Structure 1
């Protein structure tokens, strides 16, 4: 890059002079020589949306790259698109799936092949980074669609490339991004501050230089260069604030979900301006996350990405938020200007709801943090109780405030008027004062002069109200504090949504999806705990193995759907005939296992015979459906004795008894004996 080119770049960047010079100093090559953006990708980015030409032009660009065309066809023919027949040409793919889907698939492949390098033992894990890029791209596009942005595809590309500066530094830096991450591990600075210290410029600034040099579309350049700090009003990129805010918000959500750009803790800040630009009340975050999770699941096949399960997400999330909270607290305590505590501490308060996925834990922590950092006398979480038709105190801080005169604290729906009614209807925060005539009666009833009410939303649905007042000290409340608290309450809503999703996901991880019975892991954990019990408990347990007779015949003759239905029938019978204290589950294939407590051999044998007989009876009723094939089961039973030193030994005994039942003619129950 010559001096004239550098000057032009600096003017376009809208940054102080010297950024392009800093980029030249930190890189091994001139930016104009970095072959990170394939020519085909630039052509795809610049394609017009004109209905008459875009399909033809798209096909032409992809088909000039045979390897790319083959990969795109493999993608569109995958299970993710569920097409009725195989597609053999790019033109056919565009006609079937549309311009957007095919261009997105092509861009994914082009950038992946050019940007991502599989290097082992590097701090900057590029597959982990690519997973982050895909998540941000997918979330950004979903948000853009929800907000009716005119070009969601362009925003998807911005999300895919938003951190390209990190790849530039990793691949071409005199010191790599891996070197930086190793050093960052020992730093108390924020991500952007430590990058500036280490490289002399941030990854967003190197991204700006790169995009400008390679003439990427201005909107994409803005998203890459400003997703950590919104462009100033005099910047040529200020016109793209909406697009940049979407990327910034999606990037933050990715980190909150444990899908950051690196495995080390490099957390972004959620800028207040982003929440002013994006009305998150219009976003159904639960549906957005479900959509992105489905898209991420489809990427595994092509990239070998092992997307973290809910337990891994939870562990990463807790680790990240605790570390950020420590950094936030340290920053707050180090401040010497005595500024507004609420503003100074928002960064750490935002992480509080995500330290746990149990509302009974994170709600009290959040209320304590709000009360401490904003200096309120009292903070209360009011839940909406349909049965009592009112707002009822569910959690509060300090803990002592509702033990006596204010217990229970509730506001009947019939008394909700004025500003509080506006808060509930329009989902907007309000400061309610005694000079508001419509609210005076309610204020008198709860014995306060004023209070703050912040709607707490989950799935864009009102689930509660965060209440705060200064009734003990009498300090006046300032309406500007509503804006300062809004990000915190939004995070509380997200935390409540995550808690619900985690509860559902945890249940799903314990339940066999076909039969809705417990799975093998839960059965083993249950028995492991049971074998830690006192001898008097162990002597009263029995384990039974159930195997569907000639199950292969159902699949071969009647079809796999019939085989699935047989398993559901057996599961339904087991569920209907088992006591609450006992346990039943699918152990694998056509095998089921039950664990009975407080029983003896006669009781266990009676239960097993009832199960066997009911399955046989049900099978006869439904015999025509299964081509007159009999539905029966063989059951092996093991009753506890001191000879069983572990639960696997008892399962093995029941399994042996079940096979004895099979060999003895099927459709019977056999109790394990040592001489079998």
Structure 2
């Protein structure tokens, strides 16, 4: 908690200055126009003309605001050419929000950091917290949701100050992090001598930002005491704290670390959860993030319903842990803080399942724990993960039990979806008892929406301790959270794949093209040899849309994609670059090989076009192809793509339906 006394503020300023390279007033962290916009947030007398005048003083900002306003996201009937017009049509709030986001994005996130502090990942967190904060504020009928949005957008500004101007950076701090019992704030103070909230407070005071925004930046990890000058802004602080907590719980933290904020008990006293429809809020935020995805190049999955369920469960858990009136014995408290949380520490089952099984074994003092998956095709229970890992070896292969031979109490577990204790007194012929040579085990169904997806197994075969009926009720919530985590991971993978694929052609999208080429050019030069990049562009594509209709245009795109897919070797890469343009990357090829591949595609497309001539109103379906071959002088893939693009345009100019290869074009050696 920050002590806002004058003496302590001075001490914080001294500590901040000792770790910064420059005086804080000299830091070019945020443009002056952004400071003016932030101050405008707290001005009750602000007018449309004031906002327009501020934006118009920055020509680059004005151009970007107009470009954003005229994008497909707003679907305005006529193009807007003036800021004043944009503010009048979209409203003061929307335009100011666009301008602030652009300013912070372009100044703070100008370059994606290659250090531990990934600024693009950080920006994604800021946008999510800002959007969710605004939605919560609207739901709670807060008088100024825009102010809350702004506070959420820059709540972690202290981290950016430390990363950008610290003598030791926030990246250095992240690299030093270990799995410790201390909070992130405590570890920051240990490392820097100051926390990011305190650094943020110094920044706000020096730049004279509005008190509500300063309060959120300074206190979003701890509510201010009654005597604090920021006590009057507890609602704003609570909203951003809550949004920040949800973001971290969904894997959208400001940094990638094992730690996450603790949900303060005071927050839940201020925010009435019954007034919030978490699923609807998250859905709306997802839509906002989707709208900004293309503009900012940010991608993350939408798993709204699962996240709402998970958030509610985690909130309830946090209430149990932090509420002083709730008392647990030592072992029970460990179960809540370890077994329940472990399933939500990752989106990768290969990580969170072993962690969860280890936590169950430790917290409940079992000897062995196994996750049994249900394989519907083979109709069997299969051990997918187990703890300790030495339980199964090459001599003792993992467990696989046909469901057809399951009977008795275990069959009740599967059919009625209830936790059971199986022992040899009542179910001597149980196949798991026989296979593992144990006398007793616990079986707890893992469900999602009442659908059985697996079974948790645990035994005390070594310690010989009895298993009690009450343990069934204790371990059931862990199985519930495991079910949520498994489906969340499945949904994440599905959304991740969708994010990589162009939905119309089902080829990789431009984002994946850039990612693939980036990886290739990270290799040593010797391993980039014999690489070819080609552009394929559908000739006269506009006519297909204008003469035949957009459905015919879509059909033409699908035909080209299908032909490329059928003629491409495994290991090579094809994708839709955008519009009617496609791109291919061939590995282990030479000029003849690249030309031959392109010619097969060109010929097959021309042939297919003739077959479908009537469908396309006698328009010829052909393509122009440009190819560039790798040259050691290329420092990045962008030059190679540029050369392929030039070759494609030459093919267009020379009459279309042909291939042009530019093999030896390369920049001169400096």
In structure 2, the residue matched to 1:527 is 517
What is the aligned residue count? 443
Matches within 5 A, 1:196-235: none
Mapped partners of 2:434, 2:386: distance in 1: 20
Task: Give the C-alpha shift of residue 543 in structure 1.
Answer: 0.9
CA deviations on 1:15-39 (whole Å, 9 max, x unpaired) are xxxxxxxxxxxxxxxxxxxxxxxxx
603, 617, 632: which one pairs with 2:593? 603
RMSD: 4.7
1:660 aligns with 2:650: yes
Q: How far apart are residue 257 of structure 1 and its match?
A: 3.8
Tell whether the 8 Å contact from 1:417 to 1:438 is kept in structure 2 after alignment: no
Say whether the 8 Å CA contact 2:445–2:454 is kept in structure 1: yes
- Tell me which of 641, 659, 663 is aligned to 1:651: 641
Q: Sort the Cα spacing of 1:400 and 1:660 in 2 relative to 1 into closer, same or farther, 3 A.
A: same
8 A contact 1:455–1:464 mirrored in 2: yes
2:263 counterpart of 1:267 = yes
Change (3 A) 1:268 1:562: farther
Matches within 5 A, 1:123-142: none
2:358 and 2:614 mapped to 1: Cα distance? Answer: 65
Cα separation, 1, equivalents of 2:218 and 2:347: 30
Is 2:383–2:399's contact at 8 Å kept on the other side of the alignment? yes
> 1:452 — aligned with what?
442
Q: How does 1:563-642 map to 2 (within 5 A)?
A: 563-642=553-632
**How far apart in 1 are the matches of 2:637 and 2:430?**
66
Instruction: Tell me the distance in 1 between the aligned counterparts of 2:425 and 2:244.
Output: 43
- Residue 397, structure 1, aligned to residue 387, structure 2: yes
Unaligned 5+ residue runs, structure 1?
1-77, 80-106, 129-174, 188-193, 207-247, 270-287
> How many angstroms apart in 2 are the aligned matches of 1:647 and 1:611?
23
Structure 2 counterpart of 1:347: 337
Residue pair 2:245, 2:261 contacting (<8 A) in 1 also? no
Secondary structure, aligned partner of 2:620: coil
Q: Deviations over 1:26-58 (max 9, x none)?
A: xxxxxxxxxxxxxxxxxxxxxxxxxxxxxxxxx
CA contact (8 A) 2:534 2:584 kept: yes
In the aligned structure 2, how far is the partner of 1:674 from the partner of 1:405?
58
1:245-264 map, 5 Å = 256-257=249-250
Distance 1:445 1:308 in 2: 49
| Distance (whole Å) between structure 2 residues aligned to residue 528 and residue 479 of structure 1 | 56
The residue aligned with 1:117 is: 145
In structure 2, distance between residues paired with 1:290 and 1:572: 38
In structure 2, the CA distance between the partners of 1:268 and 1:478, relative to structure 1 (3 Å rule), is farther
SS of residue in 2 equivalent to 1:603: helix
Sort the Cα spacing of 1:295 and 1:396 in 2 relative to 1 into closer, same or farther, 3 A: same
TM-score, normalised with respect to structure 2:
0.57
Please say if residues 532 and 629 of structure 2, whose CA atoms lie closer than 8 Å, have aligned partners that are also in contact.
yes
In the TM superposition, what is the alpha-carbon distance from 1:614 to its structure 2 partner? 0.5
Give TM-score, length-normalised by structure 1.
0.57
- Decide whether aligned partners of structure 1 residues 468 and 510 sit closer, same or farther in structure 2, where only a CA change above 3 A counts: same
Any conservation in 1 of the 2:147–2:213 contact (CA below 8 Å)?
no
Contact 1:638 1:672 in 2 (8 A): yes
**Contact 1:124–1:178 (CA under 8 A) maintained in structure 2:** no
Quickly say closer, same or farther: Cα 1:434–1:252, change in 2 above 3 A: farther
SS in 1 for 2:624: strand
3-state secondary structure, aligned to 1:569: helix
What does residue 483 of structure 1 align with? Answer: 473
CA 1:597–1:508 in structure 2 vs 1: closer, same or farther (change >3 Å)?
same
Q: Which residue of structure 2 lines up, in the alignment, with residue 367 of structure 1?
A: 357
CA displacement 1:522-557 (0-9 Å, x = unmatched): 112212222233444322111111111011111111
- Match runs of 1:553-564 below 5 Å: 553-564=543-554
